[in-house]
Amino acid sequence: MKLTAEQIQNNWMDLEETIKVFISEPRRSQLLDLYSRHSERIMMMPASYKKEYHNAFPGGYVDHILRVVDCALKLNNVWVEMGVDESTYTKEELVFSALNHDLGKIGDEEHESYIPQTDQWRKDKLGEDYTFNNKLAFASVPDRGLFLLQSNGIQYSFNEMIAIQTHDGLYDDGNKKYLMAWAPEQRPRTSLPFIIHQADLMASRVEFEREWLPKFKGEVKKVNNFAVTKTPKQTIKTKTLSNVKSQGLMDMLDSI
């Protein structure tokens, strides 16, 4: 998947407009300043480092963030329609959490998180077009994102902290303390974390389908105005078989 220079620029403008529309002062100006200082990095960075994950291409991060915001707003309407207590969070908290749920992926003030992979074998065999920058001290994505916000003087609410911290849901074992509590008083007092997690999950799934389903089908397909390169079925099959060592599994795949 590739974005044109125009698409990358338009996405960046949409990101700035989202901040201007949904985030109030002083956080609006603070966020715009933070994003502006790292604009080149954020504008061009991928959402992940590996092709098998989502949006691992230049401009993929902003594309993902915009989709999560859109999903969050639409899912919020569904939750409200089904009877969720919307008085427990605000629309600004919803959008702020969606905007910054993956902020930790940009790295720190000095170092970007993802850098181009220089090992050709890992690019060819593992689909790693990027790799982690070892100059960056380790931190989880939510922890680094929250640190970036507070170190730039950008205050966030308790609701936003929990939503950003748990946006990966139960895919991250560290979230069990918030999401698997059995005592009613220990459960989240708002549905915001669940909405943000569902929005991130939906966006990532859409991005997976956009990238991979046409390849599995071996056909050319236009998805959301993006042209997907045709991958013949036989090419996929040959590449798959070349990585299989078990004769039994090879025979099974060969019959497909």
CA distance 236 to 115: 28
Mean pLDDT over all residues of the chain? 88
Instruction: Give the tokens for residue 154.
Output: 């950008």
Identify the residue with better confidence: 128 or 31.
31
In this predicted structure, the answer to whether residue 34 has a pLDDT above a threshold of 90 is yes
Using omega within 30 degrees of 0 as the cis cutoff, is the peptide bond preceding 26 cis? yes
Asked if the model's pLDDT at residue 256 lies above 80, the reply is: no
- Please state, in angstroms and as integers, the Cα–Cα distance from residue 121 to each residue in 8, 104, 145, 157, 236, following that order: 29, 28, 31, 45, 19
pLDDT of residue 136: 94
pLDDT for 238 equals: 52
pLDDT, tens digit (0-9, with 9 covering 90-100), for 143-195: 999 999 999 999 999 999 999 999 999 999 999 999 999 999 999 999 999 99
> What is the structure's pLDDT at 236?
41
Quickly state the pLDDT bin for 249 (edges 50, 70, 90).
very low
Question: Is pLDDT above 80 for 235?
Answer: no
Distance of alpha carbon 55 from alpha carbon 49, whole angstroms: 9
DSSP 128: B
